[in-house]
C-alpha cells in the first residue's frame, strides 16, 4: 500500500474547485472564493480546535473538556497559492449512532464531500481514536490523519510509529503537537497533497466482518455500484442500509447519492437540517 502515487489525470469533475458547491451550500457553508474545503473531524478533546486555530490563525476558544466546540466553526487559510476553507466538525467518538453531533459530522463528510477530511487523533489513546478514523475512511478516501498530542504520548512513555500507521491506514499520517505549533507545516503539506491529488490515498477498509454479513454487503454494494457508478463508498452505503439507517435509505430513494457523484444541485426540498453558523 503506497500513499504517494501520482495520478496522471483526474476526471474533470473532480478537479473543478466548485465540484460539490451545491451540497456544501446546502450544509450551510459559505462557498465564496474557496479552492478546497477541508473538514476537521476527531474524537472530543483531541485538540481539534487547537489544530483549527493553528491552521487558521483564529482564536476560537479551546478548553480541556470534551464538547467544548458547541457550534461548527469555519475559517480559512492560504497555502501554496490556493485558498482553503476549514470546517471544524463537532467532536464524536463514532459516526454510527444517532446523536445530533454524529449526524452533523457524518452528513458533512458524506454529503458535503469535503476535498480532504483531516481526522485529529489523540496519540495517547490511539486504539479508541482509530475507531472513528476507520469509519471516516469507509466514507471518504481523501483523508489525512493528524496524530496530535505527541508530546503527551512521550510524557506517558510510549512511541507511536506514524509511518507504520500510515501504511496500515493507507492515508498520510502527520505527527503534531498543535498546542506548540509543531508539525503544522507538514500537516498543511499533506492536506495540500491530498487536495490536489498529488497523494492518492488507498484507505483501509474494515475487514473483520461476519462472513454472513460480508457476502450480503458485497452483493448490495455491487447493486449500488451499478446505479451510482462513481460513488466512492458503495460498500459503506451498503453496510448502512443493512444496519437500517433510514437517512441513507432516504438519500438513495431521493437520488441524493447520485447527485453527489454527478455534482448536480440536489433537491432543495430534502434539506437535511439547517446548521446555524455562529461562533461563540
- Summarize as ranges the residues that interact with another protein (CB under 8 A): 44-45, 59, 61-67, 70-71, 96, 99-100, 124, 126-128, 130-131, 133-135, 152, 156-162, 164-165, 168-169, 179-180, 204, 206-210, 212-213, 216, 219-220, 223-224, 226-227, 238-239, 241-244, 249, 252-253, 255, 280
Q: Cβ closer to another protein: 36 or 56?
A: 56
Considering the complex, state which of residue 12 and residue 226 has its C-beta at the smaller distance from another protein: 226
Cell representation of residue 213: 454479513
Of 31 and 231, nearer to another protein (C-beta) is 231
Closest separation between CB of residue 226 and another protein, Å?
5
Shortest Cβ 81–another protein spacing (Å):
30
Alpha-carbon gap, residue 159 to 101, rounded angstroms: 31
What CA–CA distance (Å, rounded) separates 20 from 43? 26
Min dist. Cβ of residue 180 to another protein (A)? 8
Cβ contacts of residue 63 below 8 Å, gap of 6+?
none
Residues with Cβ within 8 Å of residue 49, at least 6 apart in sequence: 60, 61, 62, 68, 69, 73, 88
SS3 87: strand
What's the CA gap between 131 and 116, in Å, rounded?
Answer: 19
Q: Nearest distance from residue 63's CB to another protein, in Å?
A: 5
Nearer to another protein by Cβ, of 118 and 134: the residue is 134
Minimum distance of another protein from residue 34's CB (angstroms) = 25
Total number of residues shown for the chain? 280
Nearest CA to 74 out of 44, 114, 110 is that of: 114
What are the residues facing 116 on neighbouring strands? 38
Closer of 86 and 95 to another protein (Cβ): 95
Pick the closest to residue 130 from 183, 166, 156 (CA basis).
Answer: 166
Looking at the Cβ atoms of 17 and 44, the one nearer to another protein is: 44
Set of cell numbers at residue 196: 490536489
Please state the closest distance from residue 160 (CB atom) to another protein, in A.
5
Amino acid at each position: 500500500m503506497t500513499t504517494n502515487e501520482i495520478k496522471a489525470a483526474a476526471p474533470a469533475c473532480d478537479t473543478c474547485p466548485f465540484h460539490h458547491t451545491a451540497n456544501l451550500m446546502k450544509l450551510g457553508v459559505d462557498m465564496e472564493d474557496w479552492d478546497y474545503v477541508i473538514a476537521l473531524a476527531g474524537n472530543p478533546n483531541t485538540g481539534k480546535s487547537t489544530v483549527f486555530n493553528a491552521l487558521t490563525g483564529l482564536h476560537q476558544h479551546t478548553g480541556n473538556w470534551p464538547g467544548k466546540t458547541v457550534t461548527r466553526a469555519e475559517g480559512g487559510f492560504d497555502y501554496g497559492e490556493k485558498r482553503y476553507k476549514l470546517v471544524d466538525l463537532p467532536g464524536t467518538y463514532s459516526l454510527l449512532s444517532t446523536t445530533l453531533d454524529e449526524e452533523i459530522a457524518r452528513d458533512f463528510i458524506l454529503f458535503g464531500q469535503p476535498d480532504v477530511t483531516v481526522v485529529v487523533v489523540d496519540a495517547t489513546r490511539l486504539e479508541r481514536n482509530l475507531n472513528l478514523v476507520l469509519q471516516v475512511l469507509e466514507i471518504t478516501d481523501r483523508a489525512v490523519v493528524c496524530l496530535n498530542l505527541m508530546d503527551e504520548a512521550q510524557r506517558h512513555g510510549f512511541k507511536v510509529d506514524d509511518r507504520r500507521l500510515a501504511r496500515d491506514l493507507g492515508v498520510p499520517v502527520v505527527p503534531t503537537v498543535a498546542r506548540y505549533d509543531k508539525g503544522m507545516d507538514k500537516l498543511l503539506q499533506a492536506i495540500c497533497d491530498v487536495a490536489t491529488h498529488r497523494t492518492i490515498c488507498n484507505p483501509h477498509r474494515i475487514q473483520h466482518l461476519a462472513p454472513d454479513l460480508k457476502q450480503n454487503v458485497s452483493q448490495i454494494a455491487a447493486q449500488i455500484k451499478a446505479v451510482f457508478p462513481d460513488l466512492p463508498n458503495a460498500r459503506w452505503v451498503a453496510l448502512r442500509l443493512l444496519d437500517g439507517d433510514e437517512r441513507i435509505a432516504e438519500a438513495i430513494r431521493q437520488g441524493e447519492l447520485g447527485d453527489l457523484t454527478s455534482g448536480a444541485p440536489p433537491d432543495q426540498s430534502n434539506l437535511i437540517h439547517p446548521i446555524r453558523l455562529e461562533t461563540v
